[in-house]
């Protein structure tokens, strides 16, 4: 049996990616607010709705992590990799993620969250 249960891995990944998504979207919202867009509202609304969904999911993830005695620690970063320690019930598993993979997966997830945030009431 692995030290870190398979069902815990998506939660550890959420603990990596969701804070990144929040940080990126908050920064993007600030850029849009000071930009020369004619109609900023729609873009800000998409970002706000997405942030609300991501924060809710992060809250659920943190509650789960607390209940299962899980902790994520960012160990370090070099040019190509970022290393994390996944701690679950006292067991530690070090994992290295390629930085380009972190970036690409974060972008992928932002697209998923944007799609979830779109209004189902609009007809094309």
pLDDT score of 120: 55
Longest dimension (CA), the chain: 57
- pLDDT tens-digit series, residues 77-98: 998 999 999 999 989 999 999 9
* Mean pLDDT over each residue of the chain, to the nearest integer: 92
pLDDT score of 103: 97
- 12 pLDDT exceeds 80? yes
CA-CA distance, 4 to 87, in Å (whole number)? 8
- 55 pLDDT exceeds 70? yes
């Amino acid at each position: 049996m692995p030290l870190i249960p398979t069902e815990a891995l998506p939660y550890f990944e959420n603990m990596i990616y969701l804070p990144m998504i929040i940080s990126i979207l908050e920064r993007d919202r600030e850029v849009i607010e000071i930009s020369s867009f004619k109609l900023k509202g729609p873009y800000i609304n998409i970002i706000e709705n997405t942030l609300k969904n991501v924060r809710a999911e992060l809250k659920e993830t943190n509650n789960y992590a607390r209940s299962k005695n899980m902790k994520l620690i960012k160990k370090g970063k070099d040019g190509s990799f970022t290393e994390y320690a996944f701690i679950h019930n006292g067991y530690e598993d070090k994992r290295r993620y390629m930085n380009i993979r972190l970036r690409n997966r974060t972008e992928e997830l932002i697209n998923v969250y944007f799609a979830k945030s779109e209004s189902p009431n609009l007809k094309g």
